[in-house]
């Protein structure tokens, strides 16, 4: 499709994987494994499964040491790079920071970084399974439920952040929606596919961060499931261009998330 970077994995950091499994199972239809993945060694890591048999991402169980070190419930994305060490060096040189230095895991090499405004994300050079070399990750989809459908960056410096991501990851930035006093909602493209947007920090947002919108089959059903299962709706649902609806919420463990889908 394009050599520009893709979001290839999404991860929920949470202190309660079983609680997250109940919540996202009811809201989205995902199945989160009840047992840790043996390949992760001493880390409690669990896969998120879609109804079609594919993966939707992973869940990292936050232990007491991680929480004491400052980890908090959070959704975080992984961006594909060809060379993790080179990408980290370039990000540091451009004002970003390194939260976790490059390291090897069974499925590739990763590092956690932040952009110059402080929004965290991973960079990853994956090691694809035998026979799947050259295949693209399918976790992101513009249209499908149970996939991430939109990647939204709220940032203290939209100009600087847009320049950073287009420079380091090969994305395009064309078009914007005027939000009045709140500023511009700038659309991001990977090749000819709209993958997300950059927006200014809104009042009450404590820090620059990525938000990810999960596709659902019915936004009204999903909204009802959020509140019935201990989550909080913080915004919406509101109609978006194209006729679907988007909303934001906080899961019972404290991680922010977005949902997008039709009304039925």
- How does DSSP classify residue 202? P
Task: Count other Cβ atoms within 10 Å, centred on residue 178.
Answer: 8
pTM of the model: 0.94
What radius of gyration do the chain's Cα atoms show?
18
The tokens of 208 are what? 């620059």
Predicted pLDDT at 43: 86
Identify the residue whose tokens are 């169980």.
61
Burial class of residue 102 in the structure, from the number of CB atoms within 10 Å of its CB (0-12 exposed, 13-18 middle, 19+ buried)? buried
Instruction: Please state, in angstroms and rounded to a whole number, the distance separating the CA atoms of residues 110 and 105.
Output: 7
- Shortest CA distance to 79 belongs to which of 259, 210, 193, 194? 210
What percent of the chain has a predicted confidence (pLDDT) above 90?
81
- What's the pLDDT tens digit per position in 139-150? 999 999 999 999
| pLDDT range class, residue 40, cuts 50, 70, 90 | confident
Residue ranges in the chain assigned as alpha helix (H): 17-27, 64-68, 84-93, 158-169, 219-228
Residue 102 confidence (pLDDT) above 70: yes
């Amino acid at each position: 499709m394009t050599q520009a970077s893709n979001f290839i994995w999404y991860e929920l950091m949470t202190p309660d994987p079983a609680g997250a499994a109940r919540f996202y199972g009811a809201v989205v239809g995902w199945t989160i494994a009840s047992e840790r993945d043996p390949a992760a060694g001493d880390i409690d890591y669990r896969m998120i499964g879609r109804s079609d048999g594919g993966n939707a991402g992973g869940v990292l169980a936050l232990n007491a040491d991680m929480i004491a070190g400052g980890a908090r419930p959070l959704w975080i994305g992984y961006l594909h790079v060809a060379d993790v060490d080179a990408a980290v060096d370039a990000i540091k040189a451009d004002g970003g920071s390194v939260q976790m230095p490059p390291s090897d895991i069974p499925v590739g090499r990763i590092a956690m970084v932040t952009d110059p405004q402080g929004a965290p994300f991973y960079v990853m050079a994956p090691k694809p399974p035998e026979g799947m070399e050259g295949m693209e990750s399918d976790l992101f989809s513009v249209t499908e439920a149970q996939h991430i459908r939109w990647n939204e960056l709220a940032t203290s410096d939209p100009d600087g952040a847009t320049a950073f991501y287009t420079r380091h990851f090969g994305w395009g930035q064309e078009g914007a929606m005027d939000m009045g006093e709140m500023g511009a909602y700038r659309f991001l493209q990977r090749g000819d596919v709209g993958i997300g947007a950059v927006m200014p920090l809104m009042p009450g947002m404590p820090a620059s961060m990525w938000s990810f919108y999960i596709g659902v089959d019915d936004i009204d059903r999903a909204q009802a499931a959020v509140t019935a299962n201990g989550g909080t709706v913080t915004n919406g649902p509101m109609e978006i261009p194209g006729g679907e609806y988007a909303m934001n919420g906080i899961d019972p463990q404290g991680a922010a998330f977005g949902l997008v889908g039709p009304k039925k």
